[in-house]
Amino acid sequence: MLNILKNQDPKIADAIILELERQRNVIELIPSENFVSPAVLESLGSVLTNKYAEGYPGSRYYGGTENVDVIENLARERAKELFGAEHVNVQPLSGAPANIAAYFALLEPGDTILGMDLSHGGHLTHGSPVTYMSKIFNFIRYKTNKETGLIDYENLRQMAIENKPKLILVGYSAYSREIDYEKIKQIADEVKAMTMADIAHIAGLIAGGAMKNPVPLFDVVTTTTHKTLRGPRGGMIMCKEKFAKQIDKAVFPGFQGGPHEHNIAAKAVAFKEAIQPEFREYAKQILLNAKALEKTLKELDFKIMFGQTENHLLLIDLSNKNISGKEAQELLDKVNITCNKNMIPDDPRKPMDPSGIRLGTPAMTTRGFKESDFEIVGDLISRTLENKADETALAEIKNEVLELTRKFPLYPELSAK
Ligand SMILES: *Cc1c(COP(=O)(O)O)cnc(C)c1O
């Protein structure tokens, strides 16, 4: 692969080839990552990247848009079919810009948004003080219940009644339980708030029928397309018809310039893949694998936050393991297991060196891992953390990781030569 690039710019070509090798040789457990199909890769690397097409299909500010119109319409139609959406905007460049555009579409500066606390599984874009959005909108935060591990819906309702938010926001990046959208919608109706779900992490599970779908119920639903949905890096907004104009205007010209049509083509390709029956099997297997990893880790005395997982990820509190999240992430890197450090609810430690790690099954499920493979993964993680000072043991674990990854070839059609 990369025959032209290798000649013209060997430094970049070499780094890309090394990255392919890295991806092949690690057990990838970052829950927000996945491996796109060769067809998605091909679309991303296409001549569509050359095209300007500000505006929307049928109403653009540039000439020569007849082909990208076909592509963007297909992306929109397929997304509508996949999620049962009334209206879809496929132009957001990623998850964060999708959320920002949605806020500006629905709200005025200073309006109140009720979203989940970051350390309880919320996302930076849901009002973290380090973001500019937190200076523009008034974010207040609900939390999960310590005993049940679930969102504290009663507390959420009390906060909604007291603070009268314009928007109630659900959808998380580290929370591992199903969401009661009906209950949220009831609370929102009671206080006359709009509803927004950010399904960035679980979109593929929803598309594959393995989790509940908020799209028919909620006003606005934002997502990334590159996590469980297994498409290109990008974002998308779905909404009720009555918000369609506002949403489209907020994305362009409100917030973004020209859409990335190569990316939109790749989204369309991924949506077609997600409509196929095999994708339902994939979504189901992601959950089975997460359960298998959970069972193994629980037996090895790991503390799973929120009580259990009902999606693709596990948030683990390592405080009983005498190791921090940062240390664990670095140690696991040494044996080619990739994951990320993560805050646990009300974490006493700092974000750059928190108490937990976050593990997910989507990427390795794409490679073909089944429950028995994830039992091995749980065991390898435990042994790695137990043998943190034993270089020989760590080298042995790394060999076992390499052996396992070799059984599940990644992009066999791509040659590193
Ligand atoms: C990943 C994520 C985002 C942001 O997506 P980017 O593509 O990284 O900008 C937004 N919300 C949630 C809940 C996420 O998990």
SS (H, E, C) the chain: CCHHHHHHCHHHHHHHHHHHHHHHHCEECCCCCCCCCHHHHHHHCCHHHHCCCCEECCEECCCCCHHHHHHHHHHHHHHHHHHCCCEEECCCCCHHHHHHHHHHHHCCCCCEEEEECHHHCCCHHHCCCCCCHHHHCEEEEECECCCCCCECHHHHHHHHHHHCCCEEEECCCCCCCCCCHHHHHHHHHHHCCEEEEECCCCHHHHHCCCCCCCCCCCCEEEEECCCCCCCCCCEEEEECHHHHHHHHHHHHHHHCCCCCHHHHHHHHHHHHHHHCHHHHHHHHHHHHHHHHHHHHHHHCCCEECCCCCCCCEEEEECHHHCCCHHHHHHHHHHCCEECEEECCCCCCCECCECCEEEEECHHHHHHCCCHHHHHHHHHHHHHHHHCCCCHHHHHHHHHHHHHHHHCCCCCCCCCCC
Find out whether the beta carbon of 358 lies less than 6 Å from any atom of ligand 1. Answer: no
pLDDT digits (tens, 9 = 90+) for 50-65: 999 999 999 999 999 9
Find out whether the beta carbon of 128 lies less than 6 Å from any atom of ligand 1. Answer: no
Distance (Å) from CA 198 to ligand 1 centroid: 8
Mean per-residue pLDDT, 129-139? 95
Find out whether the beta carbon of 171 lies less than 6 Å from any atom of ligand 1. Answer: yes
* φ, ψ at 215 (rounded to 5°): -60, -45
Find out whether the beta carbon of 246 lies less than 6 Å from any atom of ligand 1. Answer: no
Q: What is the pLDDT of residue 385?
A: 97
Distance (Å) from CA 366 to ligand 1 centroid: 20
- Rounded to whole angstroms, the Cα distance separating 282 from 361 reads 11
Those residues with Cβ within 8 angstroms of residue 412's Cβ, 6 or more apart along the chain or in another chain: none
pLDDT band at 149 (very low <50, low <70, confident <90, very high): confident
CB 114 within 8 A of CB 167: yes
- Rounded to whole angstroms, the Cα distance separating 261 from 179 reads 33
Q: What is the pLDDT of residue 121?
A: 83
For residue 273, pLDDT over 80 is answered with yes
- To the question of pTM greater than 0.75 for the whole model, the response is yes
- Kindly list the strands in the beta sheet with 340-342, ordered across the sheet, starting from the edge strand earlier in the chain: 303-304, 313-317, 356-360, 340-342
- Rounded to whole angstroms, the Cα distance separating 358 from 369 reads 18
Mean per-residue pLDDT, 378-396? 97
- Dihedral of the alpha carbons of 1, 51, 12, 339, in degrees to the nearest 10: -90
Q: Which of 90, 16, 12, 81 has its CA nearest to residue 272?
A: 81
Find out whether the beta carbon of 101 lies less than 6 Å from any atom of ligand 1. Answer: no
pLDDT digits (tens, 9 = 90+) for 277-298: 999 999 999 999 999 999 999 9
Provide the percentage of residues in the chain whose pLDDT is more than 70: 100
Q: What is the pLDDT of residue 415?
A: 83
Q: Give me the chain's average pLDDT, please.
A: 97
The residue whose CA is least distant from atom 8 of ligand 1 is: 95
Find out whether the beta carbon of 125 lies less than 6 Å from any atom of ligand 1. Answer: yes
For residue 370, pLDDT over 90 is answered with yes
For residue 417, pLDDT over 80 is answered with no
Encoded tokens for 26 = 């690690």
Distance (Å) from CA 123 to ligand 1 centroid: 7
pLDDT band at 117 (very low <50, low <70, confident <90, very high): confident
Please give the positions annotated as active site.
Answer: 52, 54, 198, 224, 227, 233
Q: What is the pLDDT of residue 91?
A: 98
For residue 398, pLDDT over 80 is answered with yes
Mean per-residue pLDDT, 190-218? 98
Q: What is the pLDDT of residue 205?
A: 98
pLDDT band at 14 (very low <50, low <70, confident <90, very high): very high
pLDDT band at 383 (very low <50, low <70, confident <90, very high): very high
For residue 213, pLDDT over 80 is answered with yes
Q: What is the pLDDT of residue 122?
A: 86
Q: What is the pLDDT of residue 253?
A: 98
For residue 99, pLDDT over 90 is answered with yes
Mutate to test the pocket of ligand 1, among 198, 236, 358 (most ligand atoms within 8 A of CB): 198
- Rounded to whole angstroms, the Cα distance separating 181 from 185 reads 6
Distance (Å) from CA 172 to ligand 1 centroid: 9
Mean per-residue pLDDT, 236-242? 98
For residue 118, pLDDT over 90 is answered with no
Q: In the chain, how long is the greatest CA-to-CA distance?
A: 64
Find out whether the beta carbon of 342 lies less than 6 Å from any atom of ligand 1. Answer: no
Provide the percentage of residues in the chain whose pLDDT is more than 90: 96
- Dihedral of the alpha carbons of 383, 295, 280, 153, in degrees to the nearest 10: -120
Mean per-residue pLDDT, 172-193? 97
Which carries the bigger pLDDT value, residue 120 or residue 251? 251
The residue whose CA is least distant from atom 5 of ligand 1 is: 95
- Range scoring the smallest mean pLDDT among 138-147, 188-197, 331-340: 138-147
For residue 416, pLDDT over 80 is answered with no
For residue 10, pLDDT over 80 is answered with yes
Distance (Å) from CA 386 to ligand 1 centroid: 32
CB 265 within 8 A of CB 46: yes
Mean per-residue pLDDT, 59-75? 97
> Which domains occur in the chain, in start order?
41-275 (3.40.640.10), 285-406 (3.90.1150.10)
Number of neighbours of residue 383 by Cβ within 10 angstroms: 17
